[in-house]
Structure 1
Amino acid sequence: MKVTDDAAAAVSKRSAMTLFSDSTSHYSHRVRIVLAEKGVSVDLVEGVDGVPVPELGDLNPYNTMPTLIDRDLILYESKVMMEYLDERFPHPPLLPVYPVARAESRLFMYRVERDWCSLVDTILHSSDAGAVAVARRDLGDSMAALSPIFAEKPYFMSEEFTLVDCCIAPILWRLPALGVDLRATKQTKPLFNYMDSLFGREAFQESLSIQEREMRI
């Protein structure tokens, strides 16, 4: 893709890595978690009420957030950003070293997007009240059904915190704001323990915007 003169000028004005972020979006939040885990300083440009700043239209053909700029590189897909950051800043690693395990992690991220992110997006953006109600029910049921697997390992199918957890954590944090009432039962206890572990991480707390903190007040 050819970068326009206006976009090139906008990029040249920024010497630091820049993240255009929606302070309430779970897709933006996952990237902020990775940045915090890596300890990377970033120039954060927040949209207002989900509306991108005018500058973004010259940088991203879709005018969407998150958008990450690193020198002359412009990325506007959250999973691509996450993997780029993991390779650009290799410590601590957030994907397994071995190809099979890395492929499995990528497949887990794909399933999170298909099974959970799609439901979250319906809840947030659909004007069909019936579809929203169904999405809330399905998201809660899916979370409850999957809870027992969190008793097996400390993180999602892993002994170590990975990019998969970075994708899941913003959704779990938003459950009350999404109207998903996940009750603490014997079955869901492992999931609640997992949430406590995620939310207690220093990097997770650093990643939260003011609006996101208010989601669990």
Structure 2
Amino acid sequence: MLLYEHPLSSYAQKVKIALREKGVPFTAELPLTFGTGRQDGAFAAANPRTEVPVLIDDDVTLFESTVILEYVEERWPEPPLLPRSPAARAFARLTEEVCDTQYEAVNWGFGEILWFRRATGALADRLRARAAAQTRVLQDWLAGRLGEAEWFGGARFGWADAAVAPMLNRSVHYGLGPPEGSPLARWHARVRERPSVAETFREFDGAAARMAQAADLYTTGGRRREYRDHRLEWMIKSGGVEVVLAGLRDRTIRFPWPEGEPG
């Protein structure tokens, strides 16, 4: 089984955690054309959006991390990641949805400034401040859902934990983690000790350490950062419309398929 992925992708991390929790062996591969938007080759054939993750299991090819997670849960039901009751399942899926949209966009926007130097000076300060404030709001929301429980699903690690882990860990990497000693901070310390998560986070750390080199590709046009809907929304509503305009002018950003290249 092949998983097209990037170690920094929170979506790919979520899938890797699920596969490792279930003990499913897979080969992880970073596509050679990742970040280019090219529509030729095996990666684009598997996913015309040219986004990771993509799971190839014999004759089954899937993209979109939630769809992959659903497939993994049904294909390898033990140990289950989703709880039994409909209400608890909906709770887990809603937690994942907010992480995959609002939280991912804030993390991504902060990374645009930190790693890819999309803005400098006062604009960079303003965007970082907005990201930090929004991170606090999202972490407060997650803290309310966690409460005093050990895991987001209660007594057992599950679906919501796999979804939250990459998002919160990236905030911690950015220096925007939850207050020390808080239930959410204790959850992060606990989750990072699970073998499935620890291995995934080690891969993240290794890739993050190489970002200074990779960032140059995205600021010279060798690679183009994809401005998906929630990411574009974040940049505009946070006051970074000039970042978008500069990216269009310099052809250092792209939009999702079809016609992902700026005109």
Distance 1:159 1:36 in 2: 19
Deviations 1:142-183 (A, max 9, x none): 324643654421111522211111111011221243342544
1:119 paired with 2:112, answer no
In structure 2, the partner of 1:42 is 26
Distance 2:83 2:164 in 1: 17
Shift of 1:122: 2.1
In structure 2, the partner of 1:32 is 16
Distance 1:108 1:157 in 2: 10
For 1:192, give the aligned amino acid.
Answer: A
Shift of 1:69: 0.9
Task: Pick one of 185, 196, 211 that aligns with 2:189.
Answer: 196
Task: Pick one of 193, 208, 213 that aligns with 2:201.
Answer: 208
In structure 1, the partner of 2:76 is 89
TM-score, with normalisation over the residues of structure 2?
0.66
Q: State the SS of the aligned residue for 2:51.
A: coil
What is the aligned length?
197
Cα RMSD, aligned residues only: 2.7
Distance 1:160 1:108 in 2: 16
In structure 1, the partner of 2:47 is 60
Greater mean alpha carbon deviation, residues 95-104 or residues 69-78: 95-104
Shift of 1:211: 4.1
Deviations 1:37-71 (A, max 9, x none): 01110021124696479530121111111111111
TM-score, with normalisation over the residues of structure 1?
0.78
Q: State the SS of the aligned residue for 1:208.
A: helix
Distance 2:88 2:142 in 1: 20
Identity, in percent, stands at: 28
Q: Please, which runs of 5 or more residues in structure 1 have no aligned partner? A: 1-16
Q: Please, which runs of 5 or more residues in structure 2 have no aligned partner? A: 210-263
